[in-house]
A = this chain, B = another copy of it.
């Protein structure tokens, strides 16, 4: 019973988020109990992995039976802090920025975009979705403070990314999710995550070309 050794590995955190999806669909179909084996299959991982991941946070299962779907989902959301609202903003309202802003899934999970920014004059003042207005970049610091924005998403062109990051930092942002292919260097204490989609293509190309598994 309960609480494993030191801090859980980061891969564990990402998998917890993964577990959430099939769990929600099980919930929808009124399944009450799930085994590590079933959950594992639904997520493409091993059963031992599922159990180990969960064991870092306590023990939620019943031996011989499995995990209660409702309880497990609630627990994971608690661990991931998805049981509260997070205010985000997007800098750079091109296609990608729009795609994120209009995606309903994020809001469902508690991630709410409360401000949009772009450098193009023609876009300023336009709104996307329900009352989501596009502001100029200079207003980033002020809006971040005013609206309590904790996470900033950068979807600008490469040449604007650095400026976007600086302005977010100035406003007191806590984390940045960067889609540009630029290496940002935020000050100590600010969390940076990069998503570089073409890196994924490159991995695919490598595997295909080398013909390895």
Chain A residues proximal to chain B, CB less than 8 Å: 7, 10, 13-14, 16-18, 20-22, 42-44, 79-82, 86, 88, 94-96, 98-100, 102, 105-106, 109-111, 150-151, 174-175, 177, 181-183, 185, 191, 193, 195-210, 212
Task: Say whether A201 contacts B106, CB under 8 Å.
Answer: yes
Interface of A is mostly: helix
Selected contact of A79 from candidates B18, B20, B206, CB within 8 Å: B206
A18-B196, A82-B202 given; A207·B175 CB < 8 A: yes
Known contacts A95-B95, A175-B207; is-contact A201 B109 (Cβ 8 Å): yes
Q: Which of A10, A22, A193, A197 has the most C-beta atoms of chain B within 10 angstroms of its own C-beta?
A: A197
A22-B183, A44-B185, A183-B44 known; A203-B14 Cβ under 8 A:
yes
Q: A144 to chain B: closest CB distance in Å?
A: 14
**Distance A74 CA – B106 CA, assembled complex (angstroms):** 40
Contact call A204/B185, Cβ cutoff below 8 A: no
- Residues of chain B within 8 A of A21, CB atoms compared: 181-183
- Closest B residue to A205 by beta carbon equals B81
Expressed in whole angstroms, the Cα–Cα distance for A14 and B100 within the complex equals: 24
Complex interface: chain B residues within 8 A of A80 (CB) = 202, 205-206
Query: What are 11 A-B pairs at a CB distance below 8 A?
Result: A13-B203, A17-B196, A22-B183, A80-B202, A81-B209, A95-B99, A98-B99, A99-B99, A105-B198, A106-B201, A151-B208
Chain B residues whose CB sits within 8 angstroms of the CB of A177 once the complex forms: 200-201, 204
Quote the shortest CB–CB distance from A74 to chain B (angstroms). 15
A60 to B193, CA, bound (A): 30
Nearest-CB distance from A46 to chain B (Å)?
14
Whole-angstrom distance between the alpha carbons of A98 and B98 in the complex? 10
